[in-house]
Structure 1
């Protein structure tokens, strides 16, 4: 599953929304300045990397899928890209002063991710985990799009609670001063842009080709019925935590 997104590596960077610049300011303020060394795990094609580079810290990116890592390295030659699963990655001697993970915490081994993050950090180091949750500004659009998905594929996709990774990190007992912030913005998309986004989601990538096409056809009919556009309520949660000194 860690290499699921390599199939859409070329389109992923263009289809997925980036991250708010406020994340950089929040990490810097929490950390007390610019980290000496930042590691980003599950970096993908570098959507979060583009934002995290605003910290001005030397950065190493860890990505298990070689196709995603190749796109990442081409886009950001200034970062050190290591093609490895987080569970197999060896942090630099002495650890890193900050470790970030965007939209990938759920792909890491739940039995070990907190311990590995803790052990990769220097004492008093900063853990920053963040990700998007997609909703819709218009409740009528939300209901119609959900119905379109279910009409093509009745198998429901369970959503995690919005606070799940904060609860996961705090519940590990390995970190102190766990804080969560929420950033919201409206994201208007036309039909084609919305379909490109959906094509990068893991539930869609898991579907067989014929079922993927049925889902997309149902979405086209629904969004075209709205006049060819949809407005997402894009919610980005940032969780910050500290390895005890």
Structure 2
């Protein structure tokens, strides 16, 4: 279970660098079943493009979680090994047919194994940037591909604004309470551009590419309230705080007729290991 603060012993704030925020990073496994059920899969076009752009079918999934992305690559004919620091998430993924080794990627020992692609779905920001690119290059075969990707989660203002207001009321001490109700796509794109800059600066890869996939999904009230507790802002709230936020969001979705359409963008930064042509 994630570590929660008590009234007598408030938690110290976590570091602002995502890879150092271990309590949040390891909180998603508190309800691995819900995470796997509610979190969306990745666009088929992305999966196809990564597979087609890799020299073979041996894939390593960094921070594989419950195996959402890995199962899509398995269905595309790839042999996928997961690396996951949370034993609860790893256990769920194994039960669904994914071989997983429990370790942080930075500390994981490849034991001489090599892969045609290293993928990171919604997880690369948890990897130490000083070590991630070098470790990926180390385990990639000639012409192997690093593919980092994730979704932009920004519901419409009619849902996002009540969420933000309720969150500030329920958890004013949380660092997430200072965030705006909706963040522009450009903010997320800047994050993936930073991934590209670090890959480029490592000198271990060819020029990185930026990919974008736009799609949409309709959510009922219950479906959205199922997904929200799997997001970083809610995984570490007390049950009463979480219930207050979900109640406000539920009323907002009810006011829209009980459903809404989410406009998703899935972003990717990808590069081929250098010096192997």
TM-score normalised by length of structure 2: 0.79
Name the SS for the 1:205 alignment partner: coil
1:218 maps onto 2:210 in alignment: no
1:58 maps onto 2:58 in alignment: no
- Counterpart of 2:27 in structure 1 is 4
Deviation digits for residues 20-55 of structure 1 (CA, Å, limit 9, x no counterpart) = 111122113322x5x242110100111101211144
Name the SS for the 1:215 alignment partner: helix
Name the SS for the 2:125 alignment partner: helix
Matches of 1:130 and 1:44, distance apart in 2: 14
- Counterpart of 2:198 in structure 1 is 171
Deviation digits for residues 145-187 of structure 1 (CA, Å, limit 9, x no counterpart) = 4444445445223769212134223334232131111112111
Q: Which of the residues 115, 118, 124 maps onto 1:96?
A: 115
Cα pair 2:63 2:83 within 8 Å, conserved: yes
Name the SS for the 2:264 alignment partner: strand
1:86 CA displacement = 0.7
Cα pair 1:152 1:218 within 8 Å, conserved: no
Deviation digits for residues 179-202 of structure 1 (CA, Å, limit 9, x no counterpart) = 111112111111111011101001
- Counterpart of 2:102 in structure 1 is 83
Cα pair 2:195 2:269 within 8 Å, conserved: no
1:99 CA displacement = 0.4
Unpaired runs of 5+ in structure 1?
A: none
- Counterpart of 1:182 in structure 2 is 212
- Counterpart of 1:121 in structure 2 is 140
1:228 CA displacement = 1.2
Q: Which of the residues 196, 219, 234 maps onto 1:204?
A: 234
1:144 CA displacement = 4.5
1:209 CA displacement = 2.4
1:28 maps onto 2:51 in alignment: yes
1:111 maps onto 2:130 in alignment: yes
Root mean square deviation, CA, Å? 2.1
Deviation digits for residues 46-70 of structure 1 (CA, Å, limit 9, x no counterpart) = 1101211144222211111111111
Q: Which of the residues 137, 152, 171 maps onto 1:133?
A: 152
Higher strand share: 1
Unpaired runs of 5+ in structure 2?
A: 1-21
- Counterpart of 1:157 in structure 2 is 179
1:111 CA displacement = 2.5
Cα pair 2:163 2:245 within 8 Å, conserved: no
Q: Which of the residues 45, 66, 81 maps onto 1:45?
A: 66
TM-score normalised by length of structure 1: 0.89
